[in-house]
Amino acid sequence: MKSHFYEYRKFVLAGIALVIVLCYIVRLAFLQLSDGEYKTRADDNAFFNNVIFPARGVIYDRNGELLVFNQPAYDIMVIMREVHNLDTLDFCKTIGITRDFFDKRMATIKNIDKNPGYSTYTPQLFMPQISAEEYGVFQEKLFRFHGFYIRERTIRRYATDHCAHILGDVAEVSQKEVDNDDYYSPGDYIGKQGVERSYEPELRGIKGVQILLRDARGRIQGHYRNGALDRKPVPGKNLTLSIDAKLQALGERLMEGKMGAIVAIEPKTGEILCMVSSPSYDPHRMEGKQRGEQMLEMQRDPMKPMLNRAISGTYPPGSTFKTSQGLTFLQEGIITPSTAFPCYRGFVTKGMRVGCHGHGSPLPLIPAIATSCNGYFCWGLYHMLNNRKQYKNIQEAMTTWKDYMVSMGFGYRLGVDLPGEARGMIPNADYYDRRLGQWNALGVISIAIGQGEVTLTPLQIANLGATIANRGYYITPHIVKAIEGGHIADSLKVKHETKVEKKYYDMVAEGMRKAVLGGTCRSANTSMYEVCGKTGTAQNRGKDHSAFMGFAPKDDPKIAIAVYVENGGFGATFGVPIGALMMEQYINGQLSPGSEARAASFQSRHIDYGTRER
């Protein structure tokens, strides 16, 4: 048979079969035995992690008054392939949209470029956060709108019209936040400002997850392993703020039409009792879907209502700063309680003059504080910086001075539990060396009276008051009093001792008492309790800033306060009376009728700031 000549070709064919099978086995090994890449991609395909959002913690004030809570919101979802026989006109009327909007919205959902996860089988967001009233009407007609569903979600609501800067707000995470923290996925909510931001990890809780099996069309086919690997969400922790909502409300009332800040601290604990920044805004503006445009509007406002001036604004402290100078000079032995410096309507030497107002001369420390004598503190710093017995050179003297200031909480962030705290400015020797080259005490003398390079935040001024009230120490000021089921950070309980002894603080407190009894703060005097205070009138390019720092009662202080009114003139004009009203409100729990009348009059006294950019 002729074909036997070609019988060898059976080996060729058997060989072809062998080569094919071997090639495929190698390929299989390459696919299946290499790395886990395909496994991961298979899991991404098949497992749908249905995230269950925990309830965000709610926020109370120090007396248990509810400030922030959650409210269910309703998103309208649509499953495209289930939509049929839709009465579009009725649908649009029910949720109050135009036909045009409806068509555009549907087109956007179907556009893969704008909506990358689009599938006709899965629910797509048609309209976010409709109100409860709209929901009510919509739900009645829902059975007629095939393919439309309601998804419940919670939004943040505010029970108060105040505390906007403290509370902050929540909004969808930005891409950067998603990249930085594995916890977040696009579409999640995150605290953006205030306590909502600084206590985000406590407030948000822990997301739960259901692991579902999803088919190629995005339809859910059931629970993976009957839910054995599912996790329940852990609700967020509730916060109790140290804020007194009534005090805060009064503060915001008093600051109406003025720019500036009020900060009150409970000296013993460092708890912040109120933190007013003016101008402020109604926190309700940050609720729900209007947040974006409201933010934009406020960001454009030249008065910058979004800025929390209490911690982000830095101001010359003016005369309130003199207390810290007196303490430093006493401790360093530059002065004794009886040292008196002359003041002839100011500090006058070698062609240099820092003006002062009329009062007796020469005078020692306590009356100098009471009358807020510029000359006294300028002389004090002058003698300190020029003291070559104690300090090798002016740099060393300056460094010593700076160390005192820092020990009192100036020049660095205090570490308050709110985002956006500023440092303020305490110059040091280096700074002057660089800036001025050759320099002497006279060139920098204005820092002794809280002018020049020195700036503090209103919080730091209030903290100075708390330190004097405590006679020599302060607790890190903080805004959260308690976390339900948790503890506040240890860093918020640290007791900071200053470099000055208690006995000198007693003297300064005495001076502040005298200022109230017969000095610059007379209008803060009351028979109900012993008030200590210090005015400040800070010079700046425009009209002077009006400041007040004080605490009460003198011997068992319950409240230390700083008031700062931009361009308010003398400290006694706005600072002192506002501070007095605030202390009365907190210590008595209410205002007397007379005080109420005064409060009303201050509420209506507005300062014209023009429209200049700040």
Partner 1 sequence: MIVQEQGSKGIFLSIDWVTILLYVILIVWGWFSVCGACYDYNNPDLFSWETNSGKQIVWAGTSLVLAAVLMLIEKRFYDTAAYVIYGAMMLLLLVTIFIAPDTKGSRSWLPIGSTMKIQPAEFAKFAVALALAKLMDTYGFSIRKTKDIGIAIGLIVFPMLLIIGQKETGSALVYFAFFLMLYREGMTGSLLFTGFACVVYFVVGLKFSGDHIANMPVSIGEFTVLLLAMIFTISMVWVYCHNTTAVKWMSIGCFGGTLLTMIFSIYVIPFNVCYVMLGLCILMAGYIIWLALYTRVVRYALIALFAIGSTAFFYITDTLFEHLDDHQRIRIEVLLGMKEDLRGAGYNVNQAKIAIGSGGLTGKGFLNGTQTKLRYVPEQHTDFIFCTVGEEEGFIGSAGVLIVYLLFIWRLIAVAERQTDTMGRVYGYCVLSIFLFHLFINVGMVLGLTPVIGIPLPFFSYGGSSLWGFTLLLFIFLRMDAERNLKRQ
How many positions of this chain bind partner 1 (CB under 8 A)? 42
Out of 31, 234, 436, 528, point to the residue binding partner 1 (CB under 8 A).
31
Question: What is the closest distance, in whole angstroms, from the C-beta atom of residue 424 to partner 1 in the complex?
Answer: 56
Closer to partner 1 by Cβ: residue 8 or 143 = 8
**Contact pattern for partner 1 over residues 163 through 202, marking x by CB under 8 A:** ----------------------------------------
Question: What is the closest distance, in whole angstroms, from the C-beta atom of residue 38 to partner 1 in the complex?
Answer: 3
> Which residue has 């730091």 as its token pair?
460
Closer to partner 1 by Cβ: residue 22 or 52 = 22
Closer to partner 1 by Cβ: residue 225 or 232 = 225
Is residue 2 within the footprint of partner 1 (CB under 8 A)?
yes
Question: What is the closest distance, in whole angstroms, from the C-beta atom of residue 482 to partner 1 in the complex?
Answer: 47
Question: What is the closest distance, in whole angstroms, from the C-beta atom of residue 299 to partner 1 in the complex?
Answer: 40
Element (H, E) at 346: strand 346-349
Count Cα neighbours of 170 within 13 Å in the Cβ-side half-sphere.
23
User: Is the previous residue joined to 362 through a cis bond, with omega within 30 degrees of 0?
Assistant: yes
**Maximum Cα interatomic distance, the chain, rounded to a whole number of Å:** 141
Element (H, E) at 277: strand 271-278
Burial of 523 (0-12, 13-18, 19+ CB in 10 A): middle
Distances (CA, A) of 83 to 78, 123, 140, 151, 191: 8, 11, 18, 17, 36
Q: What are the residues whose beta carbons fall under 8 Å from the beta carbon of 420, sequence distance 6 or more?
A: 193, 308, 311, 312
Out of 38, 101, 344, 412, point to the residue binding partner 1 (CB under 8 A).
38
**Measured between alpha carbons, how far is 538 from 574 in angstroms, rounded to an integer?**
13
- 548 phi/psi in degrees, rounded to 5: -145, 135
With contacts defined by CB under 8 A, name the span among 32-40, 250-258, 458-466, 488-496 that binds partner 1.
32-40
Q: Assess contact for 373 and 362: CB atoms under 8 A.
A: no
Closer to partner 1 by Cβ: residue 121 or 473 = 121
Out of 23, 436, 597, 600, point to the residue binding partner 1 (CB under 8 A).
23
Question: What is the closest distance, in whole angstroms, from the C-beta atom of residue 46 to partner 1 in the complex?
Answer: 4
Distances (CA, A) of 505 to 248, 319, 370, 401, 430: 29, 17, 15, 17, 29
Question: What is the closest distance, in whole angstroms, from the C-beta atom of residue 22 to partner 1 in the complex?
Answer: 9
Closer to partner 1 by Cβ: residue 174 or 221 = 221
> 243: which 2 tokens?
């804020």
Closer to partner 1 by Cβ: residue 115 or 139 = 115
Amino acid identity of residue 138, one-letter, is F
Question: What is the closest distance, in whole angstroms, from the C-beta atom of residue 125 to partner 1 in the complex?
Answer: 22
**Contact pattern for partner 1 over residues 209 through 238, marking x by CB under 8 A:** ----xxxxx---xx----------------
Question: What is the closest distance, in whole angstroms, from the C-beta atom of residue 179 to partner 1 in the complex?
Answer: 24
The string of DSSP letters for 366-392 reads HHHHHHT-HHHHHHHHHHHHT-TTT-S
Binding site for partner 1 (CB under 8 A): 1-3, 5-7, 9-10, 12-14, 16-18, 20-21, 23-25, 27-29, 31-34, 37-39, 41-43, 45-47, 213-217, 221-222
